[in-house]
Amino acid sequence: MVLVETRALVKRFGSFTAVDGISFSVGSGEVVGFLGPNGAGKSTTMRLIAGFLEPTAGSAHICGHDSHADPVSARLRLGYLPEGAPLYPDMSVGAFLEFVAGMRGLDSARTRERLAEIVESIELGSVWNRRIDALSKGYKRRVGIAQAMVHDPDVLILDEPTDGLDPNQKHEVRELIRSIAANKAIIISTHILEEVEAVCTRAIIIARGRMLADATPAELIAKTPETGPDGMARSGSLRLEDYFREITRTPVEA
């Protein structure tokens, strides 16, 4: 079942084209990794799908609802972690997540149940009563991931979810994504190619607003030789890196 669909999505800022005709669909059970150099258009594409930016042309649909024409229906089915994750700095972690659950229409029993699950899976117990602005970068990121998941949405769009997390938490968040993926469509962006190999069922490489590749990580890895230029054997994620560098080498912000 298709849960996310973009059709010839275009976003221009003045004369600059940030997203230049992106079309793909994501089905239930898929975890799609967005890869691309800085400035490639990954976050802009995610904002367009999430309905936080108006497309110049084309459309994006979440569970059949147009993100721009019918944003309320689309957002009910969506959890979104924006880049940098703006949060309410004066609230405690617990109060903020209860507030999000309330906004999402969860009753108090369901709120308790979901927050208990999330506290455990994202390990937020130790900071539950702390003010958000007093948290470290990694814990702020965790709160951002938690708010996206509170209502157990069918579609998750997570813009660099593991950015700033320590290696243990990176591992935990990847495990979490894998464990919930079965009947959801998940799109993550990342610069960590190892992460794509570890969690993604599919990788979309974007540069200069266009899709350069859309395949499974294994298919992309198979496109480069097993032996690197130095004659040494290359592992999966290093080969993915070779392929990424080969097809995205032209700088974006030229």
Ligand X SMILES: Nc1ncnc2c1ncn2[C@@H]1O[C@H](COP(=O)(O)OP(=O)(O)OP(=O)(O)O)[C@@H](O)[C@H]1O
- What is the closest distance, in whole angstroms, from the C-beta atom of residue 159 to ligand X in the complex? 7
**CB under 8 Å to 91, separation ≥6 — which residues?**
99, 131, 132
168 counts as binding ligand X under rule CB under 6 A: no
**What three-state secondary structure class fits 12?**
strand
- What is the closest distance, in whole angstroms, from the C-beta atom of residue 86 to Mg ion in the complex? 14
Q: Which does 38 bind (CB under 5 to 8 A by kind): ligand X, Mg ion, none?
A: ligand X
What CA–CA distances, in Å, run from 94 to 13, 105, 112, 131, 132?
Answer: 38, 17, 11, 9, 10
Of positions 44, 162, 169, 190, contacts ligand X by CB under 6 A: 44
Q: Which does 13 bind (CB under 5 to 8 A by kind): Mg ion, ligand X, none?
A: ligand X
Please give the residues from 8 up to 37 whose contact with ligand X meets the rule CB under 6 A.
13, 18, 36
Q: Which does 44 bind (CB under 5 to 8 A by kind): Mg ion, ligand X, none?
A: ligand X
126 DSSP 8-state letter: G
44 counts as binding Mg ion under rule CB under 5 A: no
CA–CA distance, 158 with 206 (Å, rounded to integer): 16
43 counts as binding Mg ion under rule CB under 5 A: yes
- What is the closest distance, in whole angstroms, from the C-beta atom of residue 14 to ligand X in the complex? 7
Closest CA to 243 of 214, 227, 220: 220
CA–CA distance, 141 with 19 (Å, rounded to integer): 26
State both tokens at 175.
């495990």
Nearer to Mg ion, 81 or 146 (CB): 81
Concatenate the DSSP letters of all residues of 152-168 into one string.
Answer: --SEEEEESTTTT--HH
233 DSSP 8-state letter: B
Of positions 15, 38, 168, 179, contacts ligand X by CB under 6 A: 38
Nearer to ligand X, 24 or 99 (CB): 24
Binding mask 82-111 vs Mg ion (x if CB under 5 A, - otherwise)?
A: -x----------------------------
Backbone angles phi and psi of 188, in degrees to 5: -125, 150
CA–CA distance, 216 with 213 (Å, rounded to integer): 10
Nearer to ligand X, 230 or 253 (CB): 253
41 counts as binding ligand X under rule CB under 6 A: yes
Query: In angstroms, what is the C-alpha Rg of the chain?
Result: 18
42 counts as binding ligand X under rule CB under 6 A: yes
Q: Note the residues at the interface with ligand X (CB under 6 A).
A: 13, 18, 36, 38-44, 83, 253
Q: Note the residues at the interface with Mg ion (CB under 5 A).
A: 42-43, 83
